Amino acid sequence: MPDTRIALRASVLWYKTMTMPSLPTSVMLTPPYTMPLAELLNHVQRATISYFWEGAHPVSGLAYDRRLSFGKPRNDLVSIGGSGFSFLAIIVAVSRGGIDRRQALERMLQMVAFLTKVPRFHGAFPHFINGATGDVVPFSRRDDGGDLVETALLLQGLICARQYFDGEAPGERRLRRSIQALIDEVEWCWYAPEPSKPLYWHWSPKHQWKMALPITGWNEGLLAYVLAAGARQHAVDESVFHHGWAGNGALRNGNSYYGHVLPVGRPFGGPLFLAHSAFCGLDPSRMLDRYCDYWEQNLAHASIHHAHAVANPNQHVGYGAACWGLTSSHGPRNYLASAPDHDLGIIAPTAALSSFPYLPAEAEAALRHYLAVADGRLWGRYGFVDAFAASGQWISKSYLAVNQGPIVAMIENHRSGLLWDLFMDAPEIKLGLERLGIGLKGDRALFDTR
C-alpha cells in the first residue's frame, strides 16, 4: 500500500499567487486508498477545478492551453476549446459549494467580455489566442482562422453557463445576453459551402479553404453538427449531417474488439477522448439514431480500452485492470494520439477518470491506482498530471486544459447528471437533435455515487 506521503502531497493543491478568489484548501486527512469514493471524488474534482480557477489566465480568466506542475506559465497561450471546459468546471464548483455563485458570475462576465474582443471568422473562434491581448495565435501555418470544433467546445461551456445562471439579477441577465450574442454570431452555414457535403473544420481569410479538413464521423465534431442544426441563425440542413458526417452510413463499424461490438467509428474506437469531449454536455444515454445507440457506442469504446490494457498485447509493463485508458496527451518527446491500435505505453489519467459514467468500477480502480503510482507523484496542485509511462520511466510535468476539463465534467455527470441536464435542456440542443433525427430515449438513470 502507498504511504501517507500521498495524502500529504495532496494538501498542496491551490496556487495562491492569483488575485482571483480562491477555492478552499483541500487536505486529504484519510489515506486515499481507504477513503470513501464520494469523498475521494470531491478531492479530485476540487483539485482539477483549480486549473480553471486559480490557474486561469489573470487578464482574460480563460484557460491556459497547458501549465507546468511548478512555476508560472511560459507564455500567454490560451485554448478556446479548453476555455469551454472552464465554464463547465466553474459550474460544478458552484453546485458543490466550492465557489460562491457571485464570484463565479464575476469571473464568467470577465471571460465572456474578453471573448467578445477576440477576432472571429464568420463567427467562429480560432484554436489559440493570446490570453493577455486576445490576438490570434496560429495553430499551424495555415490554421490561423476559424476552428469550428474548438468553437463548438467553447459553446458547450457557454450554453451550460447560460442555462445555469438563470436568475433575474442584472449580472446573470447580462451574462445570458452576452453569451447568446456569441452563439448567434457563428455562421455555421459558411462552414458548409457545398450542399450535402460536410462541415469544414477550418477557414482562414488568408488561406481560405486550403486546410480542406472535413468534419466526418466518428469524432468530437459531432458537437458542431448538433449546434449547427439547432442554431437560431445560420443553421445548416440535416443533409449535411447525414451525407457529410455520417457518409450515408459509412461511419458504421459493427466489428467486435476484445469481445465488445463497436457500433460506429474507426477500428478499436480511437483515442478515448472521443467518448468524452462532446459528451460533457451531450447525454449519450438519451441519444439514439439510425447509426447507433450513443450510450452503447461510448460504453463499448471504454470497454475496449479497458480490455486492451488487461490483454496487453504489446506487453507494456504496468498495464492491467487498474491501469488503463489511451487518449491524446503529452508524451515523453511529443504530443501523442494514443489508442489500442497505436499504443506506445503512455497512459493519460483523463481517459479512465472521464469514463466514470460508462465503467464506474473500472474507473474507480484506476483512480486509486493512479494515487499509488510512483509514490503519489502523478498527483499535484491541479490534480493528476497529463500522462505517464505505465512502466514508471516517465511522468509528465504538465497539465493540459482539454484533458483536465472532462475529468471534472464527466465525474459530475456520473454523480449528478448536472451538465447533461443543463445542456440537453437548452432549446438549440433539443432542436438540433430533433433536426438530425437523433431521438431521445427517455430519462437518464442516476448512478448511485454522490
**Beta strands per DSSP E along 303-366:** 328-330, 335-337, 346-347
- At residue 18, the pLDDT reads 28
**Phi, psi (deg, nearest 5) at residue 59:** -90, -50
Mean pLDDT computed over 209-228: 96
Q: Which tens digits make up the pLDDT trace of 53-102?
A: 999 999 999 999 999 988 888 899 999 999 999 999 999 999 999 999 99
Mean pLDDT of the chain, nearest integer: 91
Share of the chain above pLDDT 90, in %: 87
Separation of alpha carbons 411 and 406, rounded Å: 8
Position 309 confidence tier, pLDDT thresholds 50, 70, 90: very high
Mean pLDDT computed over 220-231: 98
42: left (phi > 0), else alpha (psi -120 to 50), else beta? alpha
pLDDT of 444 > 90? The answer is no
Identify the CATH number of the domain defined by range 5-436: 1.50.10.140
**Phi, psi (deg, nearest 5) at residue 286:** -105, 0
- At residue 218, the pLDDT reads 96
Separation of alpha carbons 257 and 300, rounded Å: 9
Q: Which of 19, 113, 5 is nearest to 60 (CA)?
A: 113
Give the three cell numbers for residue 143. 490554421
Cα 184 from chain centroid (whole Å): 22
**Beta strands per DSSP E along 240-327:** 252-257, 260-264, 287-288
Q: Which tens digits make up the pLDDT trace of 272-306?
A: 999 999 999 999 999 999 999 999 999 999 999 99
Least confident residue range of 17-26, 97-106, 231-240, 296-305: 17-26
pLDDT of 29 > 60? The answer is no
Q: Which of 409, 406, 405 is nearest to 52 (CA)?
A: 405
pLDDT of 448 > 50? The answer is no
